[in-house]
Amino acid sequence: MPLKVKHIITFFFLLTGSLRLHAQDSTLVGQSLKWDLAKCIDYAKKNNIQINSLRLSQQTSQQEYLLAKAARLPDLSATGSQTFAHGNNFSNGDNGRHSGYNVSGSYGISSNVTLYNGSYINNNISQKNLQVQSANLSILQQENDIVLQITQAYLTVLLDKETIIYNTDLLSTTQAQVKLEQQRYNVGSVARKDLIQLQAQQATDQYTLVNSQNAVRNDLLTLKQLLVLPTDLSFDIMQPDTVMAPIDSISSFREAEQTALQNRPEVKNGELGVKIAQFDVDKARAGYKPTITAGASLNTGYANGQGVSFGNQINNNFYQQLGLNLSIPIFTKRVVKTQVEEAKINVKQSQLDLKNTKITLSQTVERAYINVQNARSQFNAAAEEYKFSKESYRIASEQLKVGVANTVDFLLQKNLFVQAQQSFVQAKYNALLTLKIYDFYRGVPITL
């Protein structure tokens, strides 16, 4: 038997409980809100803690990308030192060496640039760029997860609210029947047990209605906590004019599968993961190749007691230096080879991860496709059962009203009608939910 809508949602929340932490918006404190599904999804996307955390990670990746690009540029640094020294053997004029002070200083500017390092810099830039793209896809993937959670919680509340409507109508009908039966009992046309049976049914209907109202409060709280709205906020959802179960034909599984494999962010992220790992191999191989760097510097200095003025010393001691440095790795004690082999292993692991992601996604889409088919069949059967049970219940009510049906037969027919009604409402929302999930994997935005 297909799972009830609430069971599906509860199971989903248990699997994704770690995703339920979101940021609270202090500007909403004390307000009374009534949101539709689109507003709930939009708020969650903007305030979800996991999504915002991933956005910060994306910003970090962007900074690392800029840093990698800057590695192509030369650096520039300035140095300066000033020394004051005192000693007993410092020369102090014509009277020989006496206690005195010595002052000296040196100043310089230097710059270095990497001319060649086995394309390490270029590969690192390309890899960091891919990591930025991967971070963006991670954000989209997390947004997809929260959209499904919000949609399921929202539909649960709609189911509860529609159940209240049906249960309120049942209670009203029962109350009218009890009133009529009381009048008959007062004139002695019915037995006391018949009146008591209807009064017991009224109490049962009242209890059922209370449970439905409690379910709305509980499931609204679940949605509110999923959004992590402030605790003192009054929150409710907007009900669409109509909620229709799917009646049109659904897309084929192969079409949905191919669309998902080509467009879902988790697959694209897995493909980027393989490319990122391959760049690690290229970067590791740069350790086999020579490195060429160029450097330049400007330096000068002075010291007192030289008989030359400060300006002349600075000019006389000024010198310039320009040079190239070549470093050739000859024996690295297997360090580079190990780095290369480990990078190759990571490539194979990322390929396995990608394969697993595709298999998992295909299985998920296939399960969603089967769920849609099962839910549609269940809804069609439930709709037929509800139609005939409703008519039978109407006839039984009329018969009870005119006194040609006994209470036991009427209550039996009513119980059958209530069961059929509950099955119909749940089947309708189950069919709607499964279709929305299936279409979502096809890239169709979720709307009501």
At 360, the amino acid letter reads: T
Based on the fold, state whether residues 106 and 222 are members of the same structural domain: no
What is the reported pLDDT for 13? 42
Based on the fold, state whether residues 158 and 296 are members of the same structural domain: no
Averages of pLDDT over each 10 residues, the chain, 448 residues: 44 41 51 90 93 96 97 95 79 55 90 94 97 97 96 95 94 92 88 91 95 96 92 89 73 92 96 97 96 96 83 90 94 94 97 97 96 93 94 91 83 92 94 93 90
> What is the pTM for the complete model shown?
0.83
Based on the fold, state whether residues 157 and 300 are members of the same structural domain: no
Within a domain: 368: yes
* Residue 165: CA count within 13 A, CB half-sphere: 7
Contact 155, 429 (CB under 8 A): yes
Q: What is the CATH number of the domain that holds 137?
A: 1.20.1600.10
Tokens of 434: 């499964």
Based on the fold, state whether residues 417 and 372 are members of the same structural domain: yes
Based on the fold, state whether residues 111 and 123 are members of the same structural domain: no
**Rg of the chain (C-alpha set):** 39
Based on the fold, state whether residues 85 and 219 are members of the same structural domain: no
Phi and psi at residue 74, in whole multiples of 5°?
-75, 150
Within a domain: 127: yes
What is the reported pLDDT for 3? 40
Based on the fold, state whether residues 248 and 316 are members of the same structural domain: no
Based on the fold, state whether residues 237 and 139 are members of the same structural domain: yes
Give, in order, the Cα–Cα distances in Å from 208 to each of 35, 203, 205, 215, 389: 27, 9, 5, 11, 19
Q: What is the CATH number of the domain that holds 316?
A: 2.20.200
Based on the fold, state whether residues 209 and 133 are members of the same structural domain: yes
- Which residue segment(s) compose the domain that 309 sits in? 77-89+97-117+291-327
End position of a domain, from candidates 278, 310, 327: 327
Based on the fold, state whether residues 208 and 314 are members of the same structural domain: no
- Matching residue, tokens 């919000």: 150
- The span from the CA of 448 to the CA of 36, in Å, is 9
Q: How many domains does the chain have?
A: 2
Within a domain: 27: no
Based on the fold, state whether residues 213 and 171 are members of the same structural domain: yes
